[in-house]
Amino acid sequence: MPMTDISLNEASPDTVAGSFSDDLIASKLWLLRRLQPMANDGRIVIIGSWNGNLAKIAQDTEILPVDRMVNIDLDPAAVNRGKKLSQARHICGDANTFDYWPDDTVINTSHNDWTGSGWYDRLPPGVVFAVQTRDRNDLMESYGDSVPLYQGNLQLRDQDGAYTRFMLIGVKPDTAICENISTQRPPNSPPSPVGLYYKGYPCTKDCSGHMAGYAWAQRKNLKNASYVPRDIASTSFYEGALSYAQGR
């Protein structure tokens, strides 16, 4: 069913049409477009997937491949509704006990409703994740050990009035490649404020951003520096990805 067949005036959040309100569509499109250049090449796991509207929007827009998407929700009725909307895989289960893989990309747009950090604690190093919340700018506080790739907010409006959607896209750094950190300043390298260097690039904190970028480029097997997008995330992430592409 194309999205144009769904009325956008339904106010009830408990219906399929209600999950496709104008503000929720805008929020999901924002997430998909921001995540697209940063996503890993494995599964795209949507936890707390509700009626499966994100997978449906991805399928219709082709921003991210729906055939790699896995919807997970505890509500069997919502899972069954999602099966009718998209070609994603649908699982009725607990995201806090799910087995995540290192090349996964994990999406959680239900931070407000989540209790605990079980799902996040189970993510292996290298997983890229995206989290959204409503009117609560506490994402870095909740996921502070991650390397942020993007942080932003979007002003939206629903039947209850104006509100702000906050989003964090981050990655768990792969500390297994921390042997590439050096205290020796390479020739022609700018000085590091913390005295640490990663593959010749100066670190500004603990080199976690460089490690995350290197691991990301390694998983994508980027062997040409021109394939590393300059605006993908932070400077440290970019330099880490560039170091792999340059064969350092």
- Is 13 in contact with 19 (CB distance < 8 Å)? yes
- Is 22 in contact with 155 (CB distance < 8 Å)? no
The fraction of the chain above a pLDDT of 70, given in percent, is 92
Q: Which residues in the chain show pLDDT less than 70?
A: 1-14, 174-178
Domains defined along the chain, listed by start: 3-171 (3.40.50.150), 175-245 (no CATH)
- Mind listing the pLDDT tens digit for each residue in 163-180? 999 999 988 876 666 678
Please give the pLDDT value at position 176. 63
Task: Return all residues near 176 (Cβ < 8 A) that are at least 6 apart.
Answer: 125
What SS3 state is found at 240?
helix
Please give the pLDDT value at position 9. 33
- Mind listing the pLDDT tens digit for each residue in 62-99? 999 999 999 999 999 999 999 999 999 999 999 999 99
Q: What is the DSSP letter of 79?
A: H
What SS3 state is found at 201?
strand
